[in-house]
Amino acid sequence: MTSNETRVITIERDVTATARMDAARFRETMTARGTLVVNLLSSPGSGKTTLLAETARFWGDQIRCGVLVGDIATDRDAQRLAPWLPAIQLTTGGACHLSLALVQQGWQQWEELPLDILFIENVGNLVCPSSHDLGEHVRVVLLATTEGDDKPAKYPKAFRTSDGLLITKTDLLPYLPFDVDVAAQDAREIRPDIEVIALSALQGQGLAQWCQFLQEQRRRHVGRRPANESADSTVNR
């Protein structure tokens, strides 16, 4: 006769509430340091690493960028990026997404490094990473033209939670049945204020627009100009 001792504890709490608070704290720390944090989400092979290398090349020493690059295994991406910007490889050992703890572990190695933008290159996966706040100010999802223009509706959470959509590999458009407007419209039905930029990192189209977007985001969230940016903020290659 233990039934009369049974009790119900009402909780009504988001299971990620604590994680979100930790992420908000990290975000505040980074805001105070003047570093914009950008979380890049996409399928494997959509062009995140190439985009980062070309973004760093575009800016040269004008904007100081660093990247924490997540993969399940190997440090290939960090090696690929090393000639262009400081890069630390985070290996998840099988996990499908980066966690805030792993990001903070990587970031600890850099606490003294002054950075205008910290990129987090998430594990290639359009599903799990979209559920995890890594303390970023801006979330950007990449969709390569080779993946098909029907992906936003198939992976709604990734698009719903992103502030920007980069349609990558536009140099391949002549060979693919990919309609940039269809993909953009689909994404906007899910996230109406998503900023859509089509680009080819390899050939350079759209890169200036992307870099301008990042600078606007930096002003909005961090509220300062990068230390090395001239009074005239026009970016020249």
Partner 1 sequence: MHEFALVRSLLSQVAQIVEADGGGSVQEIRVRCGPLAGVEPTLMREAFALLRRDSAFVEAELVIREEPLRARCRRCDQTFEPQRFRFRCPHCGSVDTITESGDAVMIESVVVGG
Residue 172: CB minimum distance to partner 1, A: 27
Tally the C-alpha atoms within 13 A of residue 235's C-alpha that lie toward its C-beta: 22
Candidates 12-20, 64-72, 172-180, 205-213; binding stretch for partner 1 (CB under 8 A) = 12-20
Nearer to partner 1, 62 or 161 (CB): 161
Nearer to partner 1, 121 or 186 (CB): 186
Helix axis angle for 207-221 and 48-59, nearest 10°, is 80
Candidates 92-100, 168-176, 195-203, 205-213; binding stretch for partner 1 (CB under 8 A) = 92-100
Q: CA-CA distance, 79 to 74, in Å (whole number)?
A: 10
Nearer to partner 1, 97 or 169 (CB): 97
Nearer to partner 1, 86 or 129 (CB): 129
Tally the C-alpha atoms within 13 A of residue 71's C-alpha that lie toward its C-beta: 16
> Residue type for 84, please?
W
Q: Using the rule CB under 8 A, is 93 a contact of partner 1?
A: no
Exposed e or buried b per residue across 111-146, where buried means at least 16 C-beta atoms within 10 angstroms of its C-beta: eeeebbbbbbbbbbbbebbbebbbbbbbbbbbbbbe
Candidates 73-81, 111-119, 126-134, 215-223; binding stretch for partner 1 (CB under 8 A) = 126-134
Nearer to partner 1, 130 or 170 (CB): 130
Task: Give the footprint of partner 1 on residues 142-171 (CB under 8 A).
Answer: 153, 156-157, 160
3-state secondary structure of 152: helix
Q: CA-CA distance, 133 to 26, in Å (whole number)?
A: 10
Q: Using the rule CB under 8 A, is 28 a contact of partner 1?
A: no
Which parts of this chain interact with partner 1 (CB under 8 A)?
2, 5-16, 18-19, 95-97, 99, 127-128, 130-132, 153, 156-157, 160, 188-193
